[in-house]
């Protein structure tokens, strides 16, 4: 498959307090957002590829089962999954950092569920859960900052959604990377 050089812009965003969160309206589509309380490499890899396959999310594709399990088993890591009529529609993965920072390390919807108002609602719930993460973990300090990063390879509505929920850009980085001509999709050979 041919490759090409692409300039990628990454926007690093944050909220500095729970009052920064501007919740989206609840969508017309009935959605349940629940925490996957048991570390599941299979579920997390599925969500990672299903959400990120069209956006060049490749960093974790080479991870072994044990690497996934070790990542997910760290105290404070949480995966919140949105379900529409019992079907996984998207997720938010929370990764606690030192000094009360919580990173929303992965966030997004499966392609079939975009454009229905689910992304803003899922982000609202994910950010709220980042702010109250310490209430579910005895060893965590209260959250004092929630951060995330999005890039020009992500869904075109991502940056606007983050800003509409009250996240503010605190840094922008630009790099050139080598990418396949098309993103890998949700599974090998899908394209």
The pLDDT tens digits of the residues spanning 60-74 come to 988 999 999 999 999
Domain count for the chain = 1
Q: Please report which confidence band the pLDDT of residue 188 belongs to, taking 50, 70 and 90 as the band edges.
A: low
Coil, helix or strand at residue 12: strand
> pLDDT (tens digit, 9 = 90+) per residue, 1-43?
567 777 889 999 999 999 999 999 999 999 999 999 999 999 9
Q: How far is CA 69 from the centre of its chain?
A: 18
Percent of the chain with pLDDT over 70: 91
Pairing mode, if any, of strands 31-35 and 168-180? unpaired
Q: Where are the beta strands (DSSP E) in 77-140?
A: 78-84, 87-96, 101-109
Residues 6+ apart with CB under 8 A from 102: 76, 94, 95, 96, 130, 131, 133, 143, 145, 146, 147
Is 190 a member of any domain?
no
Is 187 a member of any domain?
no
> What is the domain range of residue 72?
3-180
Task: Output the pTM of the full model.
Answer: 0.91
Residues 6+ apart with CB under 8 A from 86: none
Is 191 a member of any domain?
no
Is 49 a member of any domain?
yes
Please say if the pLDDT value at position 93 is more than 80.
yes
Residue 46: the pLDDT is 94
CATH number of the domain at 67, please: 3.40.630.30
């Amino acid at each position: 498959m041919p490759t090409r050089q692409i300039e990628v812009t990454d926007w690093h965003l944050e909220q500095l307090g729970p009052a920064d969160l501007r919740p989206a309206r609840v969508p017309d589509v009935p959605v349940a957002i629940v925490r996957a309380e048991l570390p599941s490499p299979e579920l997390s890899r599925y969500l990672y590829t299903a959400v990120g396959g069209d956006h060049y999310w490749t960093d974790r594709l080479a991870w072994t089962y044990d690497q996934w399990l070790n990542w997910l088993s760290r105290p404070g890591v949480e995966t919140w999954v949105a379900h529409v009529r019992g079907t996984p529609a998207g997720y938010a993965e929370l990764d606690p950092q030192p000094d009360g920072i919580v990173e929303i390390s992965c966030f997004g919807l499966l392609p079939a569920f975009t454009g229905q108002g689910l992304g803003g609602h899922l982000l609202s719930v994910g950010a709220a859960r980042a702010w109250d993460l310490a209430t579910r973990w005895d060893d965590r300090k209260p959250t004092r900052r929630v951060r995330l990063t999005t890039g020009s390879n992500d869904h075109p509505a991502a940056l606007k959604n983050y800003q509409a929920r009250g996240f503010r850009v605190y840094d922008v980085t630009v790099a050139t990377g080598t990418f396949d001509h098309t993103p890998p999709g949700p599974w090998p050979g899908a394209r």
